[in-house]
């Protein structure tokens, strides 16, 4: 039975690690999209500043006016393209964020299954007959069920430290 419980724990851990890996990849992609959006915003700001501070050629020089207008049109086209790129990245990022948020309950459930598998594994290692005998003896001694349980299973003084030890020992998720 212990071997089966270990196998179940290993399966649960593998499933959790696969989900966590996907979640981490989503987070990395979101961070990359945010960085790329920031770069695009910086380019947009730079072009807008350039357009706002561009010198106007003298009105009499038609060639300079045409050249300045052509540069202005190119800058506006580039602004439009950058805006479209930014909107596309933002939409993709929102989609991945939704996927990541949708994964959160599954990830929590997977973590709970890891702990459940560990519980079953540890429970299988306990001599149930001795516990039954101890429980019945406590009841016969006049103790209540809750008093017997408290005597057999005292509350840990530092549950967080015990959780951390279990996580480390059995490679459980944080």
Say if 116 falls within a structural domain: no
Closest of 154, 152, 122 to residue 134, by C-alpha: 152
Containing structural domain, residue 165: 126-174
Please check whether residues 87 and 149 belong to one and the same domain: no
Please check whether residues 87 and 32 belong to one and the same domain: yes
Categorize the per-residue pLDDT at 160 as very low, low, confident or very high, splitting at 50, 70 and 90: very high
Handedness of CA 157, 160, 161, 162 (dihedral sign): positive
Closest of 124, 126, 119 to residue 3, by C-alpha: 124
pLDDT of residue 129: 94
Cβ–Cβ under 8 Å, residues 26 and 19: no
pLDDT tens sequence across 50-93? 888 876 666 667 777 788 889 889 999 999 999 999 999 999 99
pLDDT tens sequence across 99-154? 999 999 999 999 999 999 999 999 989 999 999 999 999 999 999 999 999 898 88
Of 67, 86, 111, which closes a domain?
111
Please check whether residues 43 and 105 belong to one and the same domain: yes
Cα separation values, 62 from 25, 66, 72, 75, Å: 55, 6, 15, 20
Q: Residue 12: pLDDT above 80? A: yes
Cα(7)–Cα(90) distance, integer angstroms: 42
Closest of 92, 85, 86 to residue 26, by C-alpha: 92
Alpha helices in the chain (DSSP H): 2-53, 62-124, 128-140, 145-152, 159-170
Please check whether residues 98 and 136 belong to one and the same domain: no
Please check whether residues 35 and 103 belong to one and the same domain: yes
Say if 118 falls within a structural domain: no
pLDDT of residue 1: 45
Say if 80 falls within a structural domain: yes
Say if 121 falls within a structural domain: no
Total structural domains in the chain?
2
């Amino acid at each position: 039975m212990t071997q089966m419980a270990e196998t179940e724990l290993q399966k649960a851990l593998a499933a959790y690690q696969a989900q966590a890996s996907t979640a981490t990849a989503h987070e990395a992609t979101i961070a990359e999209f945010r960085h790329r959006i920031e770069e695009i915003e910086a380019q947009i700001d730079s072009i807008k500043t350039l357009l706002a501070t561009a010198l106007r050629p003298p009105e009499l020089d038609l060639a300079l006016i045409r050249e300045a207008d052509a540069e202005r049109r190119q800058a506006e086209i580039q602004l439009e393209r950058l805006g479209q790129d930014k909107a596309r990245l933002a939409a993709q990022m929102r989609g991945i964020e939704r996927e990541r948020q949708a994964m959160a309950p599954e990830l929590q459930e997977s973590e709970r299954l890891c702990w459940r598998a560990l519980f079953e594994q540890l429970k299988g290692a306990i001599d149930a007959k001795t516990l039954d005998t101890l429980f019945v003896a406590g009841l016969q001694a006049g103790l209540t069920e809750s008093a017997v349980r408290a005597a057999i299973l005292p509350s840990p003084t530092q549950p967080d430290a015990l959780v951390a030890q279990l996580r480390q020992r059995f490679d459980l998720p944080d």
